[in-house]
Every structure is written in structure tokens, then in C-alpha cells.
Structure 1
Amino acid sequence: MSLSRREMVAGLGVLAVPLAPRPTASPSPESRSTAALPVVPAGADPGRLARDEGFWSTVARQYRVSRDFVNLENGYYGIMPEPVRRAYQRNTDHLNEVSSYLLRNTYKGQADQVRKRIATMLGVSMEEIALTRGGTEALQLLIAGYLRLRPGDSVMYADLDYHSMQYSMNWLRDRRGVQVERLVIPEPATRQAVLDAYAQAFREHPRVRLLLLSHMNNRTGLVVPVREIVAMARERGIDVIVDAAHSWGHLDFTMGDLEADFAGFSLHKWMGMPLGAGFLYIRKDRLADIDVAFDDVTFPRDDIRSRVHTGTLNVAPVLTADVALDFHDALGAAAKQARLRFLRDRWVSQVLDIDNLEILTPEEPAMYGTITAFRITGRTSEAENVAIAADLMKRHRIFTVNRGGPARGDCVRVTPALFTGCDDVDLLAAAVRDIAGRMRV
């Protein structure tokens, strides 16, 4: 029997729906061939536009999305919209055709144009931007290359920071002779509670000289007040490396809004570029505090590109950057932020009354985007949350993922995307209610 998605929502808890192809917003082959940049109505209010399903359905048609499940795990990387996917295909073919001729002749100028455009969008100079293969590489280079640590100093990160970055900070213990301190983000994580937690941690650990700070963390989606924390840290002589891998292209901000000296960014998450693209930022007057990568002499020491050395890399993602940034600009950061928050609000508002359900982002709009995690009360182990994610997939064809790391236990992360519709998050809300009911103790 084939059920509509409306019938599926109504029947949750009574019927387990088999995994089978479903209708999708994916474009047909014909529409894929004519897919174009979205056109936002002139003067549209971002908040009002966020609720316009007609408009966002046209945006969704710019994505090729699997028909087999509802994808609410878009935090790993962001699916390319069709104009970007096709440009990437063309650029890959072109690179394969002309090979090293492109690499030795035109690529450097094209890469500089991408750097310049990114810098303009962030409100900084091109000389403060260096391209990398992703946010992880960017942050690892900043952490490993930070030169101002001395034996006996301390470094600090939080339980919600990205695991690979935690490993990099731990690596400093033996390499720099420093102590590693771990901060626990409070639950519930209100803005004031977060600020108080960092202020207390700084007081308790006066030898901290370097802080890793996630603008939007990948575990629960919490957005912290970076500017205020950076200011507190600076007063105590603490430098901050900001992990902005999940926030850029997701939230509407520039570097001036963060006031940080160092940051790492991803381009293949919320900017929709091909996998293998990111960049780092170093404020111009702080360049000397990050070491040259492997004593590289390809670029002068006063050139930020000397802080990155990746060998021969796939340049097709960089060549595709303009199309991805065009797509982002066509929508606008404010409209993207509003839509992504709206999708989170829509499903969360339907489940807030469930007494054994914990939503791990607060109801403070400045502290979340679209990523949100939930926990069934008392179900805090990895195995239990893997099972919850598996149950959502098996019964309801909803793909989510378990996330570990929060001090109070594992959770399930939910990440809608620009192609996600209201029906998708309504289905999730009903499924969460179903599973919470079955797990009530």
C-alpha cells in the first residue's frame, strides 16, 4: 500500500512504514537542465519569506535529493544545488582535459579571485584569507601553528567542540608542554549561562593562553556569543581560535561581528560547494603568531598562504566557488538564516510539551540555526541514541545521526537544509512524539 506523507504523519505509532521510494522535491531531468539561480522577491522580509513554502519549493527543486528517505542529516556536508553540481562537473572535466596547464597558468589567478570574493563577504582583506581543503585542515593549521604557547601555559576547549579539534588541542600537551583544560557547556544552555561558564572557567584557570571556541557546534547546534567571549578572553591575555565551519553560509555575520583574530571555515557545508573546500582567517597584524607550514618557502613569510601547504590538490572545488557563492548571494545570508531557523522552530514547537524529551538548544533565536539535537530523558548512552536514530530511519524513513560529546550524555542530531520542506519536519515531529511515547519509563 502506498501512503501519502500526510497519512504517514497521522498514522505514526500505529503503522511502521516500509523503506521505499517517496515523492521528492528533486528536479526532473528536464528542470535540471534549466535550473537557475533563485530569485528572491524585491524587498522581501526574510522572516516572512522563511514561511513561504511556494518560494522554498522552487529552491528545493534546485537540489537532487534521494527519494528513499527524508534527509535530516545535512550537517556532515551540504548537497550542492544543481547549478553548482553542473559547474563542478564541467570544471572536473576541464581540469582533466588541460591538466597541469591549468594548474601552472590560470589557477593561481582564479584562486586569488575566490579569496578576494570570500574576503569581501566576510568584511576582511584578501591578504587575511588562505584556502584549505576544509574547516578541519584550516583549524588544525591554526592550532598546530600557534606560536605563543610556553611550557606551563594552558589551553582550553569545551565538551561541545568538534572532536578533531579537541584532538588537536590535546596534541599540544606533548608538543608544547601545556596543560589542557576542558569546559562543560551548561544545560540548559542559555546565553547568560554560557557567558557565566566561560567567565568562571577563565577565573579558575588563569594560565589559559589559547581557547578553541565553536561559533555553532556540530553536536547540538548551539550558537554561542562569540564576540562577548572573545572580549572576555582578550582582557585576560587569551587568544581565541574560532571554529566557524558550521556557521558561515548558515548564519548572517561578518568577521566584525565576531572580533576574533583567528578562525577556520568550511565551504562544503552551508555554502554548498563541492567536498574538499575551506579557508582560514588570520587578522593581518597577527600573522606572525601562526607558524609557516612545514617551513614552506613557496610564498614569503608575510603571505598568509605560507601557513598552508597541501601539495597537489583537486582544484575543481575552488574553480566552482563563484557559482556556489552566486547561489548563496542570490538567496542572501539573512533569508537563508531565517529559513533554516524557521525549519528548526517548526518541528521543535510541536514537541516542546513532551515531558521526557530534552531539546538541547534554547528558545533564544540568536543561539541556534537549523541544527538541533534532542535526547530522550534517561537515554544518554551511545548505544541508546544510535538505536533511536536507527528507529527513526526504520519506522519513518527519517535519516538523523547520533552525536556524542555533551557532558550529560549522547543525543540525536537533526539538521534540515534549504531543500527541506514543512512536511519533512512535521513528519519528524510526529515521529519524535511516537518514539518518546514508546520510550517513556
Structure 2
Amino acid sequence: MKKIAPWFRAWASCLMVLGSGMAWAQNTGRVFIQGSEVNLRARPSDKAEVVTKVPIATECQRLADAAKGWVRLKCGEVEGFTLKSLVGADKPSFDKLLAQAQDTKASTQVRYDAATRAATLDPKNDKALELLADLFFESAFEQLDKETMKGGPPEAVFIKREYSRALDRKRSLEESFIWELEKIEYDWHQLRFRRGGFRGSFVSAMFRDGLLFVYSGFISPNAGKGKFGKELDEFGVNIKLRTSSAASETLKLALQKGARPPDTRDDKYSDTKEEYAGMPALSPEAFRLFRSLSPLWYLLQGKKGERHVDQYCGMISGILLRTDIHRRAVMVVGSIYDYGDDPPRVMRVTDVSKNGSSYQLQLLPDGAKQLVALLAWPTEEPNVGRWGGLRMFIDGGDYAVANAKGIQIKDNGCTSNLGQ
């Protein structure tokens, strides 16, 4: 998982640094907590044990200053240390904080901090919660812009439009994207688009397993590689940022308003046979290895120097390696285009390892014991790899990567080239 972005850490830690214009407390006396929720620690260090958490506007007794900008407080019956910047002589005002959050001349981060504290003061105020949610996404889009300017390759995923039994038709592009995001157990999901709507950038915030998962990136409907009809059969999603962290109760309240509820249908995973509730995700290293391989392999016939691929009634045998947005992987073995009456076998990939030029993929087929697929790549023959361990599904042997040139597809006398 990518390192948590600064804007994301801000609300997760719940320590909001205040502006310089507030009135600071004297060395001793009454003070008020200014951050939305402040950690009171056993020692003046951000690595010290947290003895209690103190909410905004709590009145405390300031006992003494400590080194490096820390102060010792007594809040109720508990004593501890926190940063001087998180306490002040004036009790926080909801109206002032809301006004600051609405000030479009201020930076998004300043407005976001103010909205967080205002909503924490009055968690039943719909205006404050809506503003907090809007500024959360605005911060996320700004962070996406910054990461994009830094460069570096995004994480590309292709999503195929599938037929939906529930809708009795093929899903639209946007429905397919949402389905891909939500084919996992979750509590609620907020999804927003910017710059061109569905064809622009997006931020997805999904709460599951007690954490808030945020994905952000870009959608490229024109980057699809499937067969073209009125809409593309396949489109690209480039994920630039992934973050996960615990969320404050206030932020959860804000993001849950207007969010998509979970799909609780019993047949939620029945539309595509390879999907199920407990789908395993690859480790970061296994995911990197899996993505380093060509996603499409054609089963070769003939000897070296006389290679060709057989096509029968539009069907071509091969292997397709596919990942989803949640870093889960599958291997599709069999007919990789027109399935006809002989659909391919779909197996979940649970792990990937490498030893020299040999890859080992742990597979979990439906109703079968775990299998191991072996790939020798690269080999002495350019653009050709050797797959093994799949005899019960497809003949083992030599396979050409999808971008191989000069290898013919033979189909009842019709000839075309791969890699065009």
C-alpha cells in the first residue's frame, strides 16, 4: 500500500494544527482543546504512550510548559502532554469555524481543518458535515494532481463490460466501474468524478474492515482494447494513489451521508463465476511480479521458425492474466476470445514467486485443490514463454506473448498477424 498522503494523515491522526491568529494561553491556567481530538501523552513526544484522547472545546488546566513546543495539561482527572499549538485560551466557536471552512479565499487544507473541527463540535449539523465531505474530496483531488505532476507510471487496470443478470443487459461504462469497485464486502462507498465526469479523474472512498480505503486516478474510456460497439467493451483505469487508515467518527458521519449502501443481494457474486466474497489479494511483491508478465499469451503450434496459432470458429486457445482494482488476480485458461460452448477455466491467483527466469503461480480453481502453474520466461526463443502445470485445463507448451510479431493465426485458410 502506498505511503499515506499528508492530507490523509491529517484527519486520521485528528491533530489539527491551528492558524497563527488565535489567542494563546499563558504559562498556567484554564485552556481549551482546539484540535478535533487531541492525544494526551505520557511524555512530551509524539512516540509516547497515549493516556487519553480529549475532544475539541474540552476545558483543561495548563500545568507547565515542556520542551520543544509541548505543554503539560490536566483534563479532568488525567494529566499528560500535548503540543502547545493544540490548546488555546478561547473556547472554539462553531460559527467561526464554519465561516472559516466556507472561506473560498483560504487554502483547501485550512478550510478542511476548520470543517473537521466545526463538524466535531456539532456532528448533527448537516451543513458542516456536507462541507467536510466536499472538502475531503477536494483535498483528495488536489493530492492526485500533485502526484500526477511528480510523474511515475500509474497502476493500470482494464475493466470489461459484462452482461448483468440483475439488469438483463450489458452494464454501461459507469456501472461497470462501480461494479468493479464494489465487488467486495463493504459498509458504504462514496465515489466522485471531476474534469469531464466519468471520462476524467475520480476519487473512491470505501469503508470496510474498520478502515477507510481511498483510491484515486483517471478513467480512459478510449484506451479500451476490446471489440467496439456503441460503447467500448473494455476501458482503462489508471490508479495513481491508494491509501488506507482509520477514520474519525466525524469524518465517517460526513462521508456516509449520501454514500452508496452495500449490495446485500444473495446473488451478488453470481454474475461472473470467478467472483466471491472472500477473494484473496496478492501481496505487494507478488502483485508486482504478476504485473511484470504479459497479460495475454497465445498457444503456439509448430516448431521453432514455423510457429502459428490455430483458430477454430473464432476461438483461440491461450492464457489471460488479469488483475482487478483491489489487487486480486485471476488466470483465464482456454478460449480467450469467443468462448462459444467451451468457456475458459478461471482460477484465482493466490501467490506469485520467481526463481531466476522461472515464475511460479499458486492457483485456486473452483472445486479443486490448489495448483501450481510454472512459466519459463524469457526463453531462448524471443517473445515465447513455456507454461506448464496446466495439463488438466489446456495443453502445456510454448506460448507467444500478445505483442509478438511475425507469428501467424491460421483459421480455415484465413491468415492474420499478431501484434497489429
TM bracket (short chain): under 0.3
Q: TM-score, normalised by structure 2?
A: 0.21
Larger % of helix: which?
1
Question: Which has more radius of gyration?
Answer: 2
Q: Which has the higher contact order (CA 8 A, sep 6+)?
A: 1
Q: TM-score, normalised by structure 1?
A: 0.20
Larger % of strand: which?
2
